[in-house]
Chain A
Amino acid sequence: MKHDEAVRRIHMLLCFMASSARGLFGEPRVYGPFRLLDAMTRLIDALEELDLDDPYFHEVRDQIDRFKFKVMEDEAAFIEGIDALVKGLASRLRENREARE
């Protein structure tokens, strides 16, 4: 059951990525980064529904949700949001590595 649900969720995520790929041919360039961020939040949603999530992923999703719609209002703030996101993800990776060492 769990396996079937996981397959269904991943299937839907693949649909999202494929239809995003198709749509981007006719959409503003800045929608590309936006779709990737949205794919991250949809992946985290899917993990949550499958009980495979981690509280840290929720923080990441909340962070993305706080700035992603800036894409339509303020491109510079949108880019700043992505920079902060990547930096945060990377320092978390480093912290996790250091904790394992």
Chain B
Amino acid sequence: MELFEAILSRRSVRRYAPDPIPPEVAGRLLEAATWAPSGGNIQPWQFVVTSDPGQIEELKSVSPGMFGRPRLVVACCVDRRRAEERSGPGGLHIATLDVAMATQNLLLAAHGLGLGACAILSFHPAAVQELLGCPGWVVPTLLVAAGYPEAETPRPSRRPLEEVTHHGAWGRRETPGERGAGS
């Protein structure tokens, strides 16, 4: 799939078919995640993966934002210890951004491999830590639920580009080229 097409056609998928995700496919997702950029290349992430249906049910019970019956869940975690050791007190903020970048890679890779996935923030971090046996310094930041999509997912709207883009300065709506062309 062409990259731009992949970016535009990725959706948050919340209904999954019963087919399991083969381990090698899951491996590719994690590989993609670890090739995300990170501040200072510190890579302050850890991924806890499960495809065990019983464990996924338990995770769902403390994750109100997780819907359907995902076949795979990846907890994308900040390794606080690594972040703070390498970047000092500001490390946590950078690490959170890094984990978000890795998660987006994972979502795009899932889409590229024909899977449907959804990033989830509505969960109780301490409860997820408990269920996955994470040490205190490994903090789940986003969960990714994945499975083969059961159906097509409708495309939600986006704010128009003109509303969110400023050229050169806040509030300047047209590109310098356009201004030149008009004068």
Query: Which residues of A are in contact with B by a Cβ distance under 8 Å?
Result: 11-13, 15-16, 19-20, 22-23, 27, 31, 35, 38, 69, 72-73
Point out the residues of chain A lying under 8 angstroms from B60, CB to CB: 12, 16
Contacts of A35 in B (CB 8 A): 64
Q: Contacts A69-B14, A72-B156, A73-B156 known; A12 to B124 CB distance under 8 Å?
A: no
- Residue from the list A12, A23, A72, A73 in contact with B122, Cβ < 8 A: A23
Partner of B124 from A11, A23, A27, A31 at Cβ < 8 Å: A23
Q: CA–CA, A4 to B179, complex, Å? A: 72
* B148 interfacial by beta-carbon distance below 8 Å: no
Q: Is the CB of B14 within 8 A of A19?
A: no
- Provide the bound-state CA to CA distance between A20 and B62, in Å: 8
Count CB-based A-B contacts (< 8 Å).
38
Question: In the complex, what residues of B have CB within 8 A of residue A23's CB?
Answer: 64-65, 122-124
Please, how many angstroms separate the alpha-carbon atoms of A20 and B65 in the complex? 9
- Known A-B contacts A22-B124, A72-B156, A73-B156; A16 and B57 likewise in contact (beta carbons under 8 Å): no
Instruction: Decide yes or no: A19 and B62 within 8 Å by CB, A12-B57, A27-B122, A69-B14 being known contacts.
Output: yes
Instruction: Give the contacting residue for A16; candidates B14, B61, B156, B157; CB below 8 A.
Output: B61
In the complex, how many angstroms separate the beta carbon of B149 from the nearest chain A beta carbon? 15
Known: A12-B61, A35-B64. A19 touches B156 (CB 8 A): no
Q: Name the distance in Å between A20's Cβ and chain B's nearest Cβ.
A: 4
| Interface residues of chain A: helix, strand, loop or mixed (majority) | helix
B58 at the interface (CB under 8 A from A): yes
Note all chain A residues with C-beta closer than 8 A to B156: 72-73
Nearest CB to that of B156 among chain A residues? A73
**Do A15 and B61 have beta carbons less than 8 Å apart?**
yes
Bound together, the chains give a CA A19 to CA B131 distance in angstroms of 14
A86 smallest CB distance to B (angstroms): 21
A31-B65 Cα distance, complex, nearest whole Å:
10
Residue of B nearest to A15 (CB): B61
Q: Which residues of A contact B124 (CB under 8 A)?
A: 19, 22-23
Q: Which of B42-90 contact A (CB under 8 A)?
A: 57-58, 60-65, 67
Rounded to whole Å, the gap between the CB of B126 and the closest CB of chain A is 10
Complex Cα gap A69–B64 (Å): 13
From A12, A15, A72, A73, residue with most partner B Cβ within 10 Å: A15
| Chain A residue contacts of B127, Cβ below 8 A | 15, 19
15 A-B pairs besides A15-B61, A15-B62, A38-B64 with CB distance below 8 A are: A12-B57, A13-B61, A15-B58, A15-B127, A16-B60, A16-B61, A19-B64, A19-B124, A19-B127, A20-B64, A23-B65, A23-B122, A23-B124, A73-B156, A73-B157
